[in-house]
């Protein structure tokens, strides 16, 4: 193969241009990693890795910083938003691929893609001025009255419902990641060979049985990859969450309490971070986020590759 | 091809014009709080002199870093730098305009400006020791008002800001317990409450929450018609937040040119002084005499002609006595 490429000068130019384009990306990644490590070196030296990751203290005045409250906030909002978004997204995908009449498929798909095109700052403003009052005045008091009285889950619904908390942030996040999960799930469902589905129908399966026993098992790895990709998006989301999370560096068990995520802390505190250690700790947080995102993407890639192999067999 | 040449010609002409004018530009970066007034001044100034100002409101921390690295003509910071740091980084510093911070509440049957507070009460609320509005430490100060038994929902700024720096410096100054437990800075670890992003975030939460209590810049307190409070000042008088009370604070405070005006404008001694205010500062690189002269000319012009514009934008212009002190400082550093 390589020899034939060399013979044709156009091919040679073409392949080198694409190669350069790809290497730029790798260069960028290395560059970002380098800057993050260099800028955070002061904080790494001062707090170490283990202490920084396990300390809940975030106090700019005493210059003592730890990432645990931020990691906790990031984890809770991400997981909660996935719990809310994934069932809805899979429902959408099943409807679009298997249930819906043809004339509805177009409009629904477009609506989902539009949802993905809305900039996150718009979600943030909408969250602050519209969703947060609704959550604080109606939904959260209701949840507190109902779920808050049931033992074992009541610890999740303590405190004064304000609408600026983990729950509201997770709801916004889930709306934002639905389009990702839904469109990947839809594409995975479409990969199910018609022959297999038709055989199932021929054996007398109902519509529901085909979806449950043929389509879903066939595409579950693809769907899982999509979920992990949305997870990556949820972990890194900033502006939409910054307005409704309160940036409170405390670990709380209640979903009705304000909290902080890594990205929210960065967005809120970067501009006015006036001390070297403070600045360096923010870079350190960014480095932690970088590693977290890298790991989730690696997992997603692993499952997607596995899924592809299965289909090609 | 003809079209292409036409377009090229138009561009060439435009470029030559841009070049011929060779606009003189001053580059500044820093605090977001004074950005509107600096750009308003710069707009008027460019109409008179043709000199343009390119001010990037990237935050005080960024402003300090950029002037320290000498990438801009001047930096701007809401927090004054101490003399040692100025000496170390070879910087000059002077105040440019004043802003005030006003505690605001959301209470039914209470009109703006009716509620009275003293420093200790304010501090105890933010420490979480006073939890309800009918706590006798509040009612004692407000015998004429019917205060509800509602919880006080404390609201603070979730983002790092000069507003928080002024507010926490005030609390540290008047309340030893605050100084010891929390301290002062652009972002601090607040013991109680919820965080709103920006002045608009805090104002929005206070407005929405019955019994809400927060602190915002003067302009936001005015615009949002929140119940601002009267504060008991150092001289023992209750004062309303107003242009006059801020100006009085600036006039009576001990701004010292020898210390490069390092001062938190909190708890000013004047009889009519509003106690929670702060100047925002300009930083210059000592050795860049030429560009410094241009920056100083701009601010001198703004001090002479910009007061009206500043008040329109709800900033407090510096009092005349302080402007004279600053002019003396410029002369002493051979910038004017």
- Please tell me the distance from the alpha carbon of residue B106 to that of residue B207, in angstroms, as a whole number: 6
Q: Does A243 touch chain B (CB under 8 A)?
A: yes
Looking at the partner chain, which of A62, A258, A271 has a beta carbon nearest the beta carbon of B61?
Answer: A271
> Considering only CB atoms, which chain A residues are within 8 Å of B160?
60, 268-273
Give me the helices (H) in B100-148, please: 119-127, 136-139
User: Quick one: tokens of B276?
Assistant: 């929670």
CA angle, A80 as apex, A77 and A83 as ends, to 5°?
150
Overall average pLDDT of the B81-86 stretch: 90
Q: For chain A, positions 182-201, list CB contacts with chain B under 8 A.
A: none
Q: For chain A, positions 103-142, list CB contacts with chain B under 8 A.
A: 128-129, 133, 136
CA angle, B218 as apex, A124 and B131 as ends, to 5°?
75
> Considering only CB atoms, which chain A residues are within 8 Å of B62?
271
Q: B31 and B162 in contact (C-beta within 8 Å)?
A: yes
SS3 A54: helix
Q: For chain B, positions 78-97, list CB contacts with chain A under 8 A.
A: 79
Can you list the domains of chain A with their CATH numbers? 36-312 (1.10.3720.10)
Q: H-helix or E-strand containing B93?
A: strand B91-105
CB-neighbour burial class of residue B288 (10 A; exposed 0-12, middle 13-18, buried 19+): middle
Banded pLDDT at B20 (limits 50, 70, 90): very low
Q: Is the pLDDT of residue B83 over 80?
A: yes
At residue B12, the pLDDT reads 57
Q: What does each C-alpha distance from A122 to A129, A194, A242 come to in angstroms?
A: 11, 41, 12
Q: Is the pLDDT of residue B204 over 90?
A: no
- Please tell me the distance from the alpha carbon of residue B45 to that of residue B26, in angstroms, as a whole number: 12
Looking at the partner chain, which of B186, B194, B209 has a beta carbon nearest the beta carbon of A248?
Answer: B194
Which of A35-44, A119-128, A218-227, B163-172 has the least mean pLDDT? A218-227
- Please tell me the distance from the alpha carbon of residue B198 to that of residue B218, in angstroms, as a whole number: 13
Contact flag A273-B160 (C-beta cutoff 8 Å): yes
Alpha carbon of B161: minimum distance to chain A alpha carbons (Å): 6
Q: Give percent of chain A above pLDDT 90.
A: 40
Q: A235 and A289 in contact (C-beta within 8 Å)?
A: yes
Alpha carbon of A35: minimum distance to chain B alpha carbons (Å): 17
User: Quick one: tokens of A147?
Assistant: 């779920």
Overall average pLDDT of the A248-264 stretch: 88
DSSP string for residues in A172-189: HHHHHHHHHHHHHHHHHH
For A153-210, what is each residue's pLDDT tens digit? 888 888 778 888 899 999 999 999 999 889 888 888 888 888 988 999 999 999 889 9
> Considering only CB atoms, which chain A residues are within 8 Å of B79?
274
Q: A71 and A58 in contact (C-beta within 8 Å)?
A: no
At residue B285, the pLDDT reads 93
The mean predicted confidence, pLDDT, of chain B is: 89
Alpha carbon of B199: minimum distance to chain A alpha carbons (Å): 12
Residues in contact with B81: Cβ distance below 8 Å, sequence separation at least 6, in sequence order: B64, B91, B93, B260, B262, B281, B283
* CATH fold for the domain made of B101-250: D-Maltodextrin-Binding Protein; domain 2 (3.40.190)
- The residues spanned by each domain of chain B are 23-99+254-264+277-332, 101-250
Q: Is the pLDDT of residue A5 over 90?
A: no
Looking at the partner chain, which of B161, B184, B194 has a beta carbon nearest the beta carbon of A61?
Answer: B184
Q: Give percent of chain A above pLDDT 70.
A: 96
CA angle, B221 as apex, B111 and B151 as ends, to 5°?
60
For B251-267, what is each residue's pLDDT tens digit? 888 888 888 999 999 99
At residue A7, the pLDDT reads 65
User: Which is nearest to B298 in space by CA: B60, B53, B72, B40?
Assistant: B53
At residue B102, the pLDDT reads 94
* Beta strand segments in chain A, E: 58-59, 64-65
- Please tell me the distance from the alpha carbon of residue B140 to that of residue B133, in angstroms, as a whole number: 11
Alpha carbon of A163: minimum distance to chain B alpha carbons (Å): 10
Looking at the partner chain, which of A58, A249, A272 has a beta carbon nearest the beta carbon of B161?
Answer: A272
Q: In chain B, what is the greatest distance between 2 CA atoms, to the nearest angstrom?
A: 85
CB-neighbour burial class of residue A106 (10 A; exposed 0-12, middle 13-18, buried 19+): exposed
ipTM beyond 0.90?
A: no
Alpha carbon of A55: minimum distance to chain B alpha carbons (Å): 14
Contact flag B182-A269 (C-beta cutoff 8 Å): no
Alpha carbon of A113: minimum distance to chain B alpha carbons (Å): 29
Overall average pLDDT of the B277-292 stretch: 92
User: Quick one: tokens of A62?
Assistant: 């005493």
Q: Which residue shows structure tokens 């899982």?
A: A224
Contact flag A59-B188 (C-beta cutoff 8 Å): yes
User: Quick one: tokens of B36?
Assistant: 């509107």
Q: What is the pTM of this model?
A: 0.82
- A56 DSSP 8-state letter: -
Looking at the partner chain, which of A61, A128, A271 has a beta carbon nearest the beta carbon of B59?
Answer: A271
In terms of pLDDT, which residue wins out, A102 or A307?
A102
Q: Is the pLDDT of residue B162 over 90?
A: no
- Please tell me the distance from the alpha carbon of residue A82 to that of residue A76, in angstroms, as a whole number: 10
> Considering only CB atoms, which chain A residues are within 8 Å of B162?
272
Banded pLDDT at A312 (limits 50, 70, 90): low
> CA torsion B192→B196→B201→B202, rounded to 10°?
20
Residue of B nearest to A258 (CA): B194
Overall average pLDDT of the A249-271 stretch: 88
For B26-41, what is each residue's pLDDT tens digit? 999 998 889 999 999 9
Banded pLDDT at A83 (limits 50, 70, 90): very high
- Region of B10 (left: φ > 0; alpha: ψ -120 to 50; beta: rest) is alpha
- Please tell me the distance from the alpha carbon of residue B245 to that of residue B270, in angstroms, as a whole number: 9
Residues in contact with A244: Cβ distance below 8 Å, sequence separation at least 6, in sequence order: A124, A127, A128, A131, A132, A163, A164, A165, A168, A169, A172
User: Quick one: tokens of A77?
Assistant: 């909002």
Contact flag B189-A59 (C-beta cutoff 8 Å): yes
At residue A151, the pLDDT reads 82
Q: B125 and B293 in contact (C-beta within 8 Å)?
A: no
Which of A258-267, B2-11, B207-216 has the least mean pLDDT? B2-11
In terms of pLDDT, which residue wins out, A246 or B318?
B318
Task: Report the CATH number of the B23-99+254-264+277-332 domain.
Answer: 3.40.190.10
Q: How far is CA A262 from the centre of its chain?
A: 13
Banded pLDDT at B13 (limits 50, 70, 90): low
At residue B9, the pLDDT reads 58
CA angle, B73 as apex, B70 and B74 as ends, to 5°?
95
At residue B246, the pLDDT reads 92
Residues in contact with A98: Cβ distance below 8 Å, sequence separation at least 6, in sequence order: A189, A207, A210, A211, A215
Residue of B nearest to A62 (CA): B183
Q: Is the pLDDT of residue B112 over 80?
A: yes
Contact flag A271-B162 (C-beta cutoff 8 Å): no
Looking at the partner chain, which of B60, B196, B204 has a beta carbon nearest the beta carbon of A274?
Answer: B60
Q: H-helix or E-strand containing A288?
A: helix A276-312
Overall average pLDDT of the A275-295 stretch: 92
The mean predicted confidence, pLDDT, of chain A is: 88
At residue B5, the pLDDT reads 60
Mutate to test the interface with A, among B189, B191, B211 (most CBs of A within 10 A): B189
- Please tell me the distance from the alpha carbon of residue A91 to that of residue A98, in angstroms, as a whole number: 10
Q: H-helix or E-strand containing A76?
A: helix A68-94
Q: Does A290 touch chain B (CB under 8 A)?
A: no
Looking at the partner chain, which of A268, A274, A279 has a beta carbon nearest the beta carbon of B197?
Answer: A268
Q: Does B249 touch chain A (CB under 8 A)?
A: no
Banded pLDDT at B14 (limits 50, 70, 90): low
């Amino acid at each position: 193969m390589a020899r034939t490429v060399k013979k044709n000068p156009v091919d040679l130019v073409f392949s080198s241009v694409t190669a350069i384009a790809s290497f730029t990306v790798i260069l960028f990644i290395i560059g970002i990693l380098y800057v993050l490590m260099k800028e955070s070196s002061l904080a790494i030296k001062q707090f170490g890795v283990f202490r920084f990751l396990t300390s809940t203290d975030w106090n700019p005045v005493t210059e003592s910083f730890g990432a645990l409250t931020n990691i906790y906030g990031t984890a809770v909002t991400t997981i909660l938003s996935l719990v809310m978004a994934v069932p809805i997204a899979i429902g959408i995908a099943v409807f679009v691929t298997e249930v819906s009449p043809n004339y509805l498929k177009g409009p629904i798909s477009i609506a989902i893609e539009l949802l993905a095109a809305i900039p996150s700052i718009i979600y943030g403003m909408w969250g602050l001025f519209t969703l947060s009052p609704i959550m604080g005045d109606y939904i959260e008091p209701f949840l507190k009255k109902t779920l808050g009285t049931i033992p074992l889950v009541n610890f999740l619904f303590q405190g004064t419902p304000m609408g600026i908390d983990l729950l509201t942030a997770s709801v916004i996040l889930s709306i934002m990641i639905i389009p990702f999960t839904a469109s990947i799930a839809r594409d995975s469902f479409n990969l199910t060979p018609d022959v297999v589905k038709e055989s199932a129908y021929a054996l007398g399966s109902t519509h529901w049985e085909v979806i449950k026993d043929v389509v879903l098992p066939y595409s579950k790895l693809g769907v899982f990859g999509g979920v992990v990709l949305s997870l990556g998006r949820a972990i890194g989301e900033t502006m939409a969450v910054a307005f409704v999370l309160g940036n409170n560096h405390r670990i709380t068990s209640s979903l009705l309490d304000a909290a902080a995520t890594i990205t929210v802390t960065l967005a809120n505190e970067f501009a006015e971070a006036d001390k070297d250690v403070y600045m360096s700790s923010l870079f350190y947080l960014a480095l932690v986020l970088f590693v977290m995102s890298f790991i989730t993407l690696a997992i997603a890639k692993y499952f997607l590759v596995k899924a592809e192999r299965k289909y090609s067999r | 091809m003809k079209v292409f040449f036409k377009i090229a010609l138009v561009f060439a002409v435009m470029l030559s014009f841009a070049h011929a004018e060779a606009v003189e530009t001053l580059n500044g970066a820093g605090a977001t709080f004074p950005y509107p007034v600096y750009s308003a001044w710069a707009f008027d100034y460019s109409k008179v002199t043709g000199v343009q100002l390119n001010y990037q409101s990237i935050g005080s921390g960024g402003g300090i870093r950029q002037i320290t690295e000498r990438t801009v003509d001047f930096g701007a910071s809401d927090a004054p730098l101490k003399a040692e740091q100025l000496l170390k980084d070879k910087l000059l510093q002077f105040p440019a305009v004043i802003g005030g911070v006003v505690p605001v509440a959301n209470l039914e049957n209470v009109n703006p400006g009716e509620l009275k507070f003293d420093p200790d009460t304010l501090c105890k609320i933010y420490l979480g020791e006073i939890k309800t509005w009918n706590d006798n430490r509040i009612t004692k100060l407000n015998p004429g008002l019917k205060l509800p038994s509602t919880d006080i929902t404390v609201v603070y700024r979730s983002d790092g800001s000069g507003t928080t720096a002024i507010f926490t410096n005030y609390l540290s100054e008047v309340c030893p317990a605050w100084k010891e437990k929390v301290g002062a800075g652009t972002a601090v670890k607040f013991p109680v409450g919820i965080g709103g992003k920006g002045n608009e975030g805090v104002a929005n939460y206070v407005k929405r929450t019955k019994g809400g209590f927060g602190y915002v810049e003067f302009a936001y307190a005015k615009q949002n018609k929140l119940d601002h409070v009267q504060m008991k000042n150092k001289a023992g008088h209750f004062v309303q937040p107003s242009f006059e009370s801020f100006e009085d604070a600036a006039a009576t405070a001990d701004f010292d040119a020898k210390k490069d005006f390092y001062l938190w404008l909190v708890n000013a001694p004047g009889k009519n002084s509003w106690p929670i205010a702060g100047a925002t500062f300009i930083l210059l690189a000592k050795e860049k005499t030429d560009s410094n002269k241009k920056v100083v000319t701009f601010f001198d012009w703004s001090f002479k002609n910009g007061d009206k514009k500043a008040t329109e934008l709800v900033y407090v212009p510096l009092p005349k006595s302080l402007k004279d002190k600053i002019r003396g400082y410029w002369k002493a550093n051979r910038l004017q």
